[in-house]
Amino acid sequence: MSFFPFNLINDNLLNHKQMTTLKAGDKAPNFSGLDQNGASHTLADYKGKKLVVFFYPKASTPGCTAEACDLRDNYARFQANNYALLGVSADSAKAQAKFIEKYDLPFPLLADEDKSVIQAFGVWGPKKFMGKEYDGIHRTTFVIDENGIIEEVISDVKTKAHAAQILK
């Protein structure tokens, strides 16, 4: 019997949660979560509207602020095209409320502290930053049609021009 370190590598990889790979044409997860004010949001609440669900790593950090403010600045265009916007991170309701207040964001932010919505959409997983690996939220946006079907998944989010990626 020969020894190869591959078993160790494979075992370590298995310890990471596998990310779901939702794609265009898939039915969106039937999520339920609470926003910054404790109000409940479910997929069914948005039937008849297009829904943009954008996942971001942490409220009030530079990239997340740029993304949220770009969506805010184009909010009238989203509304005119029958879109609702819903941001999601693992931040507390208090942190989300502060983020909304500080940057005058006109859309709700889910405080998904238990990561149930984040995991339903499969955006939690291994990340690397400055040579360190850790688990976190992958900045991803899902565009969902009026019937709950995913139209587009944007994983290469351009934080300062995200509205243009969605409103082509």
Residues 65-108 have pLDDT tens digits of: 999 999 999 999 999 999 999 999 999 999 999 999 999 999 99
Per-residue pLDDT at 64: 95
Q: Is 11 part of a structural domain of the chain?
A: no
CA-to-CA distance for 79 and 77, rounded, in angstroms?
Answer: 5
Q: How many CA atoms lie within 13 A of 152 on its CB side?
A: 14
Q: Is residue 14 part of a domain?
A: no
CB atoms within 10 A of CB 100: 21
The number of C-alpha atoms within 13 Å of 147 and in the hemisphere containing its C-beta is 5
Provide the terminal-to-terminal Cα distance of the chain, rounded to the nearest Å. 58
pLDDT value at residue 18: 43
98 inside domain: yes
Q: What is the CATH number of the domain that holds 122?
A: 3.40.30.10
Q: Which domain holds residue 150?
A: 19-166
Q: Which of 64, 100, 120, 137 is catalytic?
A: 64
Number of domains in the chain: 1
Average pLDDT over every residue of 18-41: 91
On whether residue 6 sits in a domain, the answer given is: no
CA dist., res. 32 & res. 154, Å (int) = 21
Q: Specify whether 69 is catalytic.
A: no
